[in-house]
Structure 1
């Protein structure tokens, strides 16, 4: 017997879930923004109306950017996992709220397919963030979420690389556990799966050569790319780039990133994949963030360095609409330091 759950904005009573920051790092209730200098294709936009957000995901439907889930300051020196969904209108430079997720999630796996948002698992919890199998689809016309069959047992994770090819959603890597605190467990996986939004069936694909989480992901043409990321810890950053020909095939190693980074954001314009920010830069023993903007040319298998982020961040997300990439939220210090910054980058 199939059961369908439809959740309207007025009916959702999901409570946020409190937790401390990432391992070994204090939380800033509201991270201060440094004096930012915009230029080189960067533009400052209206900040996130609902306030600072980090470890969220984004997807675009038409001209609208959806910011889904994540963490925000809880006002007591910690962070709280939220179900909030906010929508940025790229033409009007304005924000509005949408129906929240039926459950609070950080590091959710989110894509847009066929004019709808699909959320396929993520992380949530208090003292330890654990992977969730919960999956949902959002209908913009009715502002409602509908429950999907949960991810198969053993495949659940958050912070996976994501891509869409036809009616299939691809997930590579991710993590099943993130335990805030010194020495906390970070369970990185190499698993790769696809989900067909029409048949609602899952398929297991060849695993990544190495486990990755907080990684960049993109599909260009018929190829799924997984860029950078980390393996079991913020400072265990990697520069690897792997590609998988679709719908099946093997993983191939490509030209490495100029700057190894985890917690990055990535988006596609044309045949290039743009990567932004990240964390894992250790300065005087302290984990700090990157301001790097680097682009991978999928045709030439080469990288180029571009104008840095005016406000360096990690734990953010990016999405391309036309010739512009939107990068809302993220943290400006290693660990949890959510911000309401919202920027756009237009490649030159």
Structure 2
């Protein structure tokens, strides 16, 4: 019933907007329980949206953020949340994907002894929703370990492009960026580098968003070192012929940004929010929503987010895209809000 209501609303127009900004509608749903959340992974599986790990405010000092192992599921039909079995270790900037009804964590950042968030080779496990249980997979080879990668699924393989190995979450702290492209085979629990010219992105990226449309892997926007070195590029890889290497689309995202989220409906990728906005004062967060027609290689601006965020992912189910949590100020300020766009 809830999805049907969303589709009916999506067919209405928002008056007062230019024509190209109509035919979409935002709504706010039941918020994330227990704690505000950001730098978590978001994936969809059947009629549910899952959020994994990330950072949450310390209850005793909300200016301090703690990395969490918390996993929560949002039931779309019931507009309710429940807490699931925790991940084996606490992680942020989680790389996650769903393959054959299971949920995979394939790299992330964890708190190191020096307090920095560093890539860990132990962030490799799989969740079975039917049993509410995690199984630990083989360790990630050090050359493939990172968080904040762009993730795309092709058959039973998961592709990871770019990412970062260190984020020192203090003013001016060290951050890096990699251009590595890896493939994880869910059937054999093995990691390899992408073949030939696909083994590296045209330029390193972290905090980019990603999508797979018609067997093409898209890596959109993102940043290099630091929160303000944001990009507007669209890199693509043909997953049927990865050895041919990466291409750069001629049409660039209208608003360069990192820390953005995106969701895919049919042949279009919708991009949301992000970090590094000099026009937003001290908050530094984007409210932009831009639609990319992957077939026409064309961008369209849509109505902005009701609450601008960065540091989250989006998940599409049918004609709705869910954006849970995120930060409302550059660096931090996590929220519990679940925003949904019907398209």
Q: How many aligned residue pairs are there?
A: 309
Contact 2:283 2:328 in 1 (8 A): no
Change (3 A) 1:250 1:81: same
Contact 1:235 1:287 in 2 (8 A): no
Q: Please state whether the residue corresponding to 2:339 is helix, strand or coil.
A: strand
1:145 to 134, 145, 153: 134
Counterpart of 1:264 in structure 2 is 260
Q: Please state whether the residue corresponding to 1:154 is helix, strand or coil.
A: helix
CA distance in 2, matches of 1:299, 1:198: 32
Matches within 5 A, 1:211-222: 211-222=204-215
1:168 to 130, 152, 157: 157
The CA deviation at 1:88 is 0.1
CA distance in 1, matches of 2:280, 2:297: 34
Q: Please state whether the residue corresponding to 2:183 is helix, strand or coil.
A: strand
Counterpart of 1:67 in structure 2 is 51
More helix by share: 2
Tell whether 2:247 aligns with 1:252: yes
Gaps of 5+ in 1: 1-38
Contact 2:33 2:81 in 1 (8 A): yes
CA distance in 2, matches of 1:107, 1:178: 10
Matches within 5 A, 1:13-92: 40-75=24-59, 76=61, 77-92=63-78
2:236 to 243, 255, 274: 243
CA distance in 1, matches of 2:280, 2:265: 36
Counterpart of 1:100 in structure 2 is 86
The CA deviation at 1:295 is 1.1
2:173 to 178, 184, 190: 184
Residues 7-44 of structure 1: per-residue CA shift (max 9 Å, x gap): xxxxxxxxxxxxxxxxxxxxxxxxxxxxxxxx941111
Tell whether 2:195 aligns with 1:200: no
Contact 1:56 1:71 in 2 (8 A): yes
CA distance in 1, matches of 2:131, 2:266: 32
Question: Larger relative contact order (C-alpha < 8 A, sep ≥ 6)?
Answer: 1
The CA RMSD over aligned residues, in Å, is: 1.3
Change (3 A) 1:62 1:220: same
Gaps of 5+ in 2: 1-22
Contact 1:240 1:256 in 2 (8 A): yes
Q: Please state whether the residue corresponding to 1:268 is helix, strand or coil.
A: strand
Counterpart of 2:321 in structure 1 is 325
TM-score by length of 1: 0.87
The CA deviation at 1:338 is 0.7
The CA deviation at 1:284 is 8.0
Counterpart of 2:286 in structure 1 is 290
Contact 2:232 2:256 in 1 (8 A): yes
CA distance in 2, matches of 1:87, 1:182: 33
Counterpart of 1:274 in structure 2 is 270
CA distance in 1, matches of 2:298, 2:305: 21
Change (3 A) 1:86 1:284: closer
Contact 1:278 1:289 in 2 (8 A): yes
